Amino acid sequence: MKELFNIETFRSKAKSVLNNKNFVETNEYILQLEGLLNEVLSGGPGFEKAEKEQNPENVENYKEMYQLLRMMCDNVPDMIWAKNLNNEYIFTNKAISEGLLLASDTTEPIGKTDMFFAQRARQLFPENSEWHTFGEICRDTDTIVLQNKAPQRFNEYGNIKGKFLYLDVIKAPFYDSEGNIIGTVGSGRNITHEHQLQIQHDQALESLKTQ
C-alpha cells in the first residue's frame, strides 16, 4: 500500500521545486510541479484515513499542501492543469485560466471541458472566424496519452482573441493512489515567439537556396 502523506516530506519537495532557479529555461520545474499535483489531487490512503477518522491535524496538513501547490502553480508562467477521464478540468492554474480558457478565475474551469470555453469565446465574435481557432486543427492529444499510457509531448496552436498562440505541451496519465488512471495531467509553455523566429529562419534558408 502507498505510504501515507507526510507534510514535512511534501514541504521538502516543494522547497526543492522552488529552489530550481532555472525553471523558466527548463521543463524540469514543470515536471516536478506535475508530480506534486498528482500527489495532492489523487488523494491517497493518508487523506482518506484523515477524513474517516476526522483527524483535524491531518486534514489541515492536506489543506496546507494544496494551498502551497496552488501558490507555486499560480506563480509560474507555464500553463498547468489536470483533467478527469471525461476531459473535464479538475485543476487549472492562473496561466491557463487567463491565457487559454479566458476563465473568470481558477475555479470556473472545474467540471468543464475545453469545448465549453472555445464555444463561449467564438460566440463573442461569431462573424470573425479567426477570433478563436485554438485546438481546431490539433489532434485529440488527451486520448493519445490515455491510449499509450505514457507521457508525451505535443505542439498545440491556434488563435486566442484573434492572436496566434503556439504551445509546447507535455501531457501524462494521471494515476490515483491505487495505480488506476483517472485522467491526464499537463503543462503548456508559450513558445509563439520562438516558433515565429524558426519560421523566419527557415524562410531565409529557403530564399538563399533559390538564389
Q: At 122, which amino acid appears?
A: R
- Please report the pLDDT score of residue 55 as a whole number: 63
Mean pLDDT within 106-118: 94
Whether 33 contacts 21, CB under 8 Å: no
16 DSSP 8-state letter = H
- Please report the pLDDT score of residue 8 as a whole number: 60
- Please report the pLDDT score of residue 162 as a whole number: 95
- Please report the pLDDT score of residue 24 as a whole number: 47
Whether 103 contacts 121, CB under 8 Å: no
- Please report the pLDDT score of residue 82 as a whole number: 93
Please tell me the distance from the alpha carbon of residue 54 to that of residue 38, in angstroms, as a whole number: 23
Q: If you average pLDDT over every residue of the chain, what do you get?
A: 81
Please tell me the distance from the alpha carbon of residue 28 to that of residue 23, in angstroms, as a whole number: 7
How sure is the predictor about 149, in pLDDT bands with cuts at 50, 70 and 90? very high
Is the pLDDT reported for residue 7 higher than 60?
Answer: no
Mean pLDDT within 188-193: 95
Report percent pLDDT > 90 for the chain.
Answer: 54
Residue with cell string 483527524: 55
Residue 34 grid cell: 506535475
Give the residue, 208 or 97, on which the prediction is more confident: 97
Is the pLDDT reported for residue 116 higher than 70?
Answer: yes
Mean pLDDT within 79-85: 94
